Amino acid sequence: MKKQELKEFLDAKVLQYNHPRFIESDPIQIPHQFSKKEDIEIAGFLTATISWGNRKSIITNANKMMAMLDHSPYDFVKNHESDDLEKLRSFVHRTFNDDDFIQFIKSLNHIYTNHDGLEAIFSKHAEEFSIQKSIHQFKSNFFEIEHLRRTQKHVSDPLKNSAAKRINMFLRWMVRNDNNGVDFGIWKQLSPAQLSCPLDVHSGNVARALGLLRRTQNDAKALDELDKALRELDKNDPVKYDFALFGLGVFEDFSKS
């Protein structure tokens, strides 16, 4: 497939899948329960953090998270007392357990109290066409308070060769304004041009089938390769193609056709 044909094909798939009906089966439905900026970003961050495995299980457990936070995640993060944290006991999603959940609430409180919130901290170290150093710095700040070492594994670090799929997905949610009501576009200090595609097994396999990616591992090096290919198709909004790659992989089983 020639480059222009590929672009036209993927653009059509973006239009097909970047649609409000996408929300119905996707974890992004969790932050869509809220209207306040801080509630949206905290709900989005926590949901993205547990977004691996079965999608129904992700959505079920993210809803449990919101219920445990009294459906007011920002208020809980900012104003909780130590006794309130005990209400989070018993939560588990795969390897993310109640100790991790409690640590995330404490660290989020630190981010909002001492670093002006999630948007400010991710924006601070962003480069013109990359936000990966910002993710690295965010992890450092997130765990600069006393914490359980085991919880560090739940925040990826691109500078340690992680594709950081879940954080890149969260950033897509917050930064892109798709005018279709799926991605929120509530962060104005960052541009879609700086974002990276959330690279997972589905998007990776489709990207390889389409000749957009040659590296076999889904790591930071593969992400860099894919980002460059997608920026050639649309330098201003390369991650819109996440909808095309994910949709082709999950709903059409394209990589096996």
Give residue-wise pLDDT tens across range 191-217. Answer: 999 999 999 999 999 999 999 999 999
Query: How many angstroms separate the CA atoms of 192 and 197, rounded?
Result: 10
Mean pLDDT of 176-199: 96
DSSP string, 44-72: HHHHHHT--S-HHHHHHHHHHHHHHTTT-
Domain count, the chain: 1
Residue 95 lies in a domain: yes
The yes-or-no verdict on residue 128 having pLDDT over 90 is no
Residue 177 lies in a domain: yes
Residue 256 lies in a domain: no
Q: Average pLDDT over the chain, rounded to whole? A: 95
Q: pLDDT category, 121, cuts 50, 70, 90?
A: very high
Q: How many CA atoms lie within 13 A of 169 on its CB side?
A: 26
Model confidence, pTM: 0.95
The yes-or-no verdict on residue 244 having pLDDT over 70 is yes
Number of H helices, E strands in the chain: 12, 2
Contact 220, 162 (CB under 8 A): yes
Q: What is the pLDDT of residue 133?
A: 94
DSSP string, 175-189: H-B-SSSSSB----S
51-90 pLDDT per residue, tens? 998 999 999 999 999 999 999 999 999 999 999 999 999 9
Residue 98 lies in a domain: yes
Mean pLDDT of 221-229: 97
| Residue where the block lists tokens 């991650």 | 239
Q: What is the pLDDT of residue 256?
A: 60
Q: What is the pLDDT of residue 231?
A: 97
Expressed as residue numbers, the domain containing 161 is: 3-251
Residue 178 lies in a domain: yes
Contact 110, 143 (CB under 8 A): no
Residue 81 lies in a domain: yes
Residue 96 lies in a domain: yes
Residue 257 lies in a domain: no
Give me Rg for the CA atoms of the chain: 18
Residue 98 burial (CB count, 10 A): 16
Q: What is the pLDDT of residue 186?
A: 98
